[in-house]
């Protein structure tokens, strides 16, 4: 019986998984540490050779930027995955979809950091975008209130973008890939945008485990109820299959670990000083689960999306760049 010799990245992955498996017995903290170590190894392992070139070509680079400035992290992360020009062409209409679901100030880690959003607006404009429009369909309270309370409105306008209130007349019913929803109302201006950038904040959520990029796309529909009743996680995967954002940037500068997604208490907030960027939102979400000490399998919509081949949960198949 012969065995294919492992290449380096497969070997590292094996070690990492084994290590993680053992470490789970010792508690999530250690598992997380082991995974983080594995990341570094993967990173170093992949930096040279053909793999990185192949990954860069396929957009399979996942950038993880650390630092205390949200804006700088965002710039570094976007640069590390090839720069905004890779995603935005001159004359494009760009829609940026942060999480502005609740009327909370930024410090509560309920809404996306204004500087992350504003930096993306600037970068998109520098890349030649004709228009950069920022919008969300808040779940509680009205849009104008959430836009101003989250401080996103002011930041976006200062950066030269515009905020849009998603009025009820702007939704259209679209055919949705998958077996559950079949058709679903989505906001036409988002579906028709040349480039859609998904900018969630990472936070805990009671019925999906975590609110990350996949869940954030729920702000593009006017009918959440149907998604809840039919099966939330699969529905989330399916609307993502239709929306297919070109770029995903996860704000994990501060994350909400309890009482999500609406929060409201600073004691539930943890500082992570991290911004994640990737073309593949499934990979980005998979990576982000680690910040909570969770495994990606514990967030059912990530798994449902991977099953629909919307992206990969296998982080060894992407190049992780820490910047």
Q: How many residues bind another protein (CB under 8 A)?
A: 42
CB-based contact 165:144 (threshold 8 Å) = yes
**Buried b / exposed e along 106-141 (16+ C-beta atoms within 10 A):** bebbbbbbbbbbbbbbbbbbebebeebbbbbbbeee
Asked if 308 is part of the footprint of another protein (rule: CB under 8 A), the reply reads: no
Interface residue with another protein, options 5, 25, 68, 229 (CB under 8 A): 229
Q: How many residues appear in the chain?
A: 323
Question: Where would I find the beta strands (DSSP E) of 167-307?
Answer: 171-175, 183-187, 195-199, 201-205, 209-211, 247-256, 269-278
**How is 168-180 classified by DSSP, letter by letter?**
GGGEEEEE-SSSS
Shorter beta-carbon distance to another protein: residue 250 or 302: 302
Burial of 30 (0-12, 13-18, 19+ CB in 10 A): middle
Asked if 234 is part of the footprint of another protein (rule: CB under 8 A), the reply reads: yes
Site for another protein in 152-191 (CB under 8 A): 164-165, 167-170, 179-180
Asked if 233 is part of the footprint of another protein (rule: CB under 8 A), the reply reads: yes
Which residues pair with residue 78 across a beta bridge?
none
Question: Minimum distance from CB of 108 to another protein (Å)?
Answer: 9
Residue with tokens 């804006």: 71
Asked if 192 is part of the footprint of another protein (rule: CB under 8 A), the reply reads: no
The total of other beta-carbon atoms located within 10 Å of residue 48's CB is: 10
Site for another protein in 285-304 (CB under 8 A): 298, 300, 303-304
Question: Minimum distance from CB of 127 to another protein (Å)?
Answer: 25
Applying CB under 8 A, the span of 77-85, 121-129, 227-235, 280-288 interacting with another protein comes to 227-235
Which residues pair with residue 198 across a beta bridge?
97, 248
Question: Minimum distance from CB of 21 to another protein (Å)?
Answer: 19
Applying CB under 8 A, the span of 69-77, 225-233, 244-252, 274-282 interacting with another protein comes to 225-233
CA Rg, the chain, in Å?
19
Distance CA 219, CA 112 (A): 13
Shorter beta-carbon distance to another protein: residue 223 or 273: 223
Asked if 122 is part of the footprint of another protein (rule: CB under 8 A), the reply reads: no
Question: Minimum distance from CB of 210 to another protein (Å)?
Answer: 10
Nearest CA-CA partner of 316 in 292, 286, 272, 294 = 286
Shorter beta-carbon distance to another protein: residue 98 or 143: 143
Interface residue with another protein, options 7, 40, 126, 140 (CB under 8 A): 140
Question: Minimum distance from CB of 101 to another protein (Å)?
Answer: 9
Shorter beta-carbon distance to another protein: residue 7 or 265: 265
Query: At residue 221, what are phi and psi to the nearest 5 degrees?
Result: -115, 160
Question: Minimum distance from CB of 303 to another protein (Å)?
Answer: 7
Q: Would you put residue 175 in left (φ > 0), alpha (ψ -120 to 50) or beta?
A: beta
CB-based contact 224:315 (threshold 8 Å) = no
Asked if 309 is part of the footprint of another protein (rule: CB under 8 A), the reply reads: no
Distance CA 193, CA 12 (A): 40
Asked if 205 is part of the footprint of another protein (rule: CB under 8 A), the reply reads: yes
Site for another protein in 252-271 (CB under 8 A): 259-265
Cis link prior to 261 (omega < 30° from 0)?
yes
Q: Which residues bind another protein (CB under 8 A)?
A: 102-103, 139-145, 149, 164-165, 167-170, 179-180, 205-209, 224-225, 228-229, 231-234, 259-265, 298, 300, 303-304
């Amino acid at each position: 019986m012969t065995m294919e010799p492992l290449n380096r990245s497969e070997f590292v992955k094996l070690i990492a998984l084994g290590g993680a498996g053992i470490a789970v017995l010792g508690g999530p903290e250690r598992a997380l540490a082991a995974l983080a170590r594995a990341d570094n190894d993967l990173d170093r392992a992949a930096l040279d050779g053909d793999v990185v070139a192949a990954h860069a070509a396929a957009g399979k680079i996942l950038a993880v930027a650390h630092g205390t400035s949200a804006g700088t992290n965002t710039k570094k992360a976007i640069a590390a995955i090839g720069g905004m020009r890779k995603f935005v062409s001159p004359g494009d209409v760009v829609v940026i979809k942060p999480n502005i679901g609740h009327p909370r100030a930024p410090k509560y880690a309920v809404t996306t950091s204004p500087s992350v959003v504003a930096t993306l607006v600037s970068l998109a404009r520098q890349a030649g975008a004709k228009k950069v429009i920022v919008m969300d369909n808040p779940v509680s309270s009205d849009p104008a209130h959430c836009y101003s309370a989250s401080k996103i409105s002011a930041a976006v306008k200062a950066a030269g973008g515009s905020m849009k209130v998603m009025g009820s007349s702007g939704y259209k019913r679209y055919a949705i890939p998958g077996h559950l929803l079949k058709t679903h109302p989505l906001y036409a201006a988002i579906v028709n945008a040349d480039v859609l950038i998904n900018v969630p904040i990472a936070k805990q959520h009671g019925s999906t485990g975590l609110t990350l990029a996949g869940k954030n796309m729920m702000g593009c529909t006017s009918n959440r109820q149907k998604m809840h009743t039919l099966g939330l996680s699969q529905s989330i995967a399916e609307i993502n299959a239709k929306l297919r954002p070109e770029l995903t940037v996860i704000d994990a500068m501060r994350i909400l670990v309890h009482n999500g997604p609406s929060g409201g208490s600073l004691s539930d907030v943890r500082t992570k000083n991290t911004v994640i960027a990737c073309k593949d939102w499934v990979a980005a979400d998979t990576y982000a689960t680690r910040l909570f000490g969770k495994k990606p399998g514990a967030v059912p919509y990530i798994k449902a999306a991977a099953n629909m081949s919307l992206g990969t949960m296998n982080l060894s198949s992407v190049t992780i760049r820490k910047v």
